[in-house]
Amino acid sequence: MKILVAVKRVVDANIKVRVLSDETGIDMNDTKMALNPFCEIAVEEAIRLKESGSASEVIVVSIGPEKSQEQLRTALALGADRAILLQTDQVIEPLSVAKLLAKLVQEEQPELVILGKQSIDSDNNQTAQMLAALTGRPQGTFISQLSVDNSAIHITREVDNGLQKLSLQLPAVVSVDLRLNEPRFASLPSIMKAKRKPIDRRSAESFGIDLSPRIKHLKITTPAERKSGQLVASVAELVGKLKLEAEVI
């Protein structure tokens, strides 16, 4: 089984971003970038499927600026076999990402495509579902368990009121949630080895898909800050304030 994993370069999860004072965007100057945490989980799952003999090849793909190579190298160091970079300096919306990925699915014919459930920058949570629709494949979103059984996969999804189990015929598209696995750290030898693995670089524009944004960003603003509160000295004081001052209990 061939697996395609889509990975995105995003601002590191530990950084609290700042909005530019002219409200045109986020301050990206010297901002630490990383592999989207959900994509890391997606890569880890693909590698585990390869290690267990269920998968034969793991291909990672990223759509973004040239520097997305760094995240592809990370994925290669974790154990992916080869990488594809669809290079573009435009902001690519989920629908266009899904269309580009659908083209790659056509070319590569992976039985399983694994994505993150959400990009932690744009917080969209859309691409996997869109790709599944465009390729006519079944979808398994927000999964916390996956097992392969011949021509099907069995998945557990994290849903608002608990867990749901589905069975999907392959080929399928899944998006991973936090508790699917705990990604490994790349070892030094594997980081060295990853430098020799191939990255196939192509222009995202070369696919003949209209990638221009359809959602116009009028402005990006900072949400209202909360007023700083007070420390209380005891539980009794806390209960008193909640009753008499805040009047919430």
Partner 1 sequence: MRPLVIAEHQQQTLDAATLSTVTAAQQIGGKVDLLICGENISSVVDQAAKIEGIYQLLVADHVCYKDQLAENTSKLLLTLSENYTHIFAAATTQGKNLLPRLAALLDVPQLSEIIQIIDANTFVRPIYAGNALATVQLEEATILATVRSTAFDAVPFCDDQAVIVYLDDVHENDLSRFIAEDLSQSDRPELGAARIVVSGGRGMGSGDNFSLLNNVADKLGAAVGASRAAVDAGFAANDMQVGQTGKIVAPELYIAVGISGAIQHLAGMKDSKVIVAINQDADAPIFQVADYGLVSDLFESLPQLEQLL
Ligand X SMILES: Nc1ncnc2c1ncn2[C@@H]1O[C@H](COP(=O)(O)O)[C@@H](O)[C@H]1O
Ligand Y SMILES: Cc1cc2nc3c(=O)[nH]c(=O)nc-3n(C[C@H](O)[C@H](O)[C@H](O)COP(=O)(O)OP(=O)(O)OC[C@H]3O[C@@H](n4cnc5c(N)ncnc54)[C@H](O)[C@@H]3O)c2cc1C
Distance CA 85, CA 186 (A): 21
Amino acid type, 130: M
Nearer Cβ to partner 1 (188/224): 224
Q: What 8-state DSSP symbol labels residue 79?
A: T
Per CB under 6 A, 120 contacts ligand Y = yes
Distance CA 19, CA 94 (A): 22
In the bound complex, what is the minimum distance in angstroms from residue 35's beta carbon to ligand Y?
A: 11
Per-residue CA distances from 205 to 59, 91, 211 (Å)? 21, 12, 7
Find the helix packing angle between 69-78 and 37-51, rounded to 10°: 30
Look at strands 152-159 and 139-149 and give their pairing: antiparallel
What residue 179 binds from ligand Y, ligand X, partner 1, none (CB within 5 to 8 A, per partner kind)?
A: partner 1
Residues 91 and 26 sit within 8 Å (Cβ to Cβ): no
In the bound complex, what is the minimum distance in angstroms from residue 94's beta carbon to ligand X?
A: 4
Structure tokens at 98: 């899904």
Q: How many residues bind ligand X (CB under 6 A)?
A: 23
In the bound complex, what is the minimum distance in angstroms from residue 113's beta carbon to partner 1?
A: 14
Per CB under 6 A, 97 contacts ligand X = yes
Nearer Cβ to ligand Y (153/176): 176
Nearer Cβ to partner 1 (84/180): 180
Residue ranges binding ligand X (CB under 6 A): 6-8, 36, 38-39, 42, 62-64, 92, 94, 97, 115-116, 118-119, 122, 124-128
Residue ranges binding ligand Y (CB under 6 A): 13, 37, 120
